[in-house]
Amino acid sequence: MSQPLVIVTERDGPDGALHYMHVIPDWPSSGRLDYATAIELGSPGVTRTGAGAIFFYGPERGTMRKITVDAQLDVTLAALISFEHYSIMGFDAEPIWVSDELAFLLDEYTGQIASWNPRELKITHVDPIAPDVLEKDGFNVQFQAGVASGDRLFTAVSWRNWDTSTARPGVVLGVFDQVEPANGPRIIEDQGRCAPSASLGPFKDEEGAVYIVGDGALGFDLLASRQKTTLPQCVLRVRKDADEYDPDFFVDLLAATGSPAIYAVHPMSEHKLLVNMWSPDVDVASVADPDDSSWFWEVPPYYEYAIVDLTTGTSEKVAGLPRAGAHFARPLRVDDQTYVQTFREDRGSSLHRVDTDGTVTEVLALPSAANVQFIGRL
């Protein structure tokens, strides 16, 4: 029997968005979630399962809640810790999970990385981030999510001004030592082959190799910015225990798909990626406004999906998902399977499982103004 399924959804209301937690035996055969039995978590945050519990990071006060579930699926708030004493709060702080006994909160705003124990719900130490990483060439650093591999932590790193759409070039990984993270991260960068990394976190494969996408701020730098880059969006890799990008691995996502730009990337099994791409048959020049870059976020459904094989550098379109507008959906994975959302005009959504062979199965239909933020198993 599988462990209980945890689904966190976000719903908009008159006073703002709220997160709701659903703890159920498995995917509902009806494709519907019962909000009458859901647990309201409050304002949007970040959820994770581990150490036999559910953890919810509340950015407003920098709190981490530990929530337990018994055999009858009854939910209990077990304990809570706060990082507010260290001024760590807000969405700048990125949780990185290692094990049931070790996790981190990486905060670019205060320039700190906090180590904590999920099982004991205890902060163990808070260390400074290297000052020369926090600012380069007049740009403040931005970290994007993170992943643990071996005895190290990896996070995507960029230096960018969102107001001017200017950025320091390069695809950059920041690497922290898990035991002694102080004064990290060490930087691994490639400045000549790809659009800058900015918005997508790294991911790893079954062998522990870590991958990073040079996403060019989700394709904006390629299609709409006044400082357009001519470099492609790409995928680079650092092998387990290596200190540099693998010289034998490079995947140009534009060449693989025939698309002028990739919007979002969802890791899959079998060394594959599910990518949300600008449809190759839509001429960008026919819809772009050279005087107002906001067109990039407001176009009709010009994005479609394809699966990129990172071993062969080829792709196949996913026929079972409809075209969409520019709507960022966070990567969702559970049971080694990838899920993606599509959105309706009422801003409700449907959640689909996408298999590595391109088969699409709808598993949830959410009501108006609702979407999925997390899925996991206890």
Of the listed ranges 56-60, 117-121, 347-351, the one predicted with least confidence: 347-351
Please say whether the beta carbons of 170 and 142 come within 8 A: no
Residue type at position 266: H
Measured distance between the N- and C-terminal CA atoms of the chain, rounded to whole angstroms: 12
Q: Does residue 324 carry a pLDDT above 90?
A: no
- pLDDT grade for 69, boundaries at 50, 70 and 90: very high
CA distance 72 to 24: 10
Distance CA 267, CA 274 (A): 6
Q: What is the mean pLDDT of the chain?
A: 94
* pLDDT per position as a tens digit, 157-176: 999 998 888 889 999 999 99
How many contiguous H segments (helices) and E segments (strands) does the chain have? 4, 30
As a whole number, mean pLDDT of residues 331-355 equals 92
Task: Say how many C-beta atoms besides its own lie within 10 A of residue 138's C-beta.
Answer: 9
The answer to whether residue 326 scores a pLDDT higher than 90 is no
3-class SS at 347? Answer: coil
pLDDT digits 0-9 by tens, 197-243:
867 899 999 999 999 999 999 999 999 998 889 999 999 999 999 99
Bond preceding residue 232 cis, omega within 30 of 0 = no
Cβ-proximal residues to 291 (8 Å cutoff; 6+ apart), any chain: none
Residues 257/279, Cβ–Cβ less than 8 Å: no
334 or 300: which carries more pLDDT confidence? 334
Of 208, 211, 206, 209, nearest to 194 (Cα)?
211
Distance CA 265, CA 333 (A): 12
Which residues have C-beta within 8 Å of that of residue 14, sequence separation ≥ 6? none
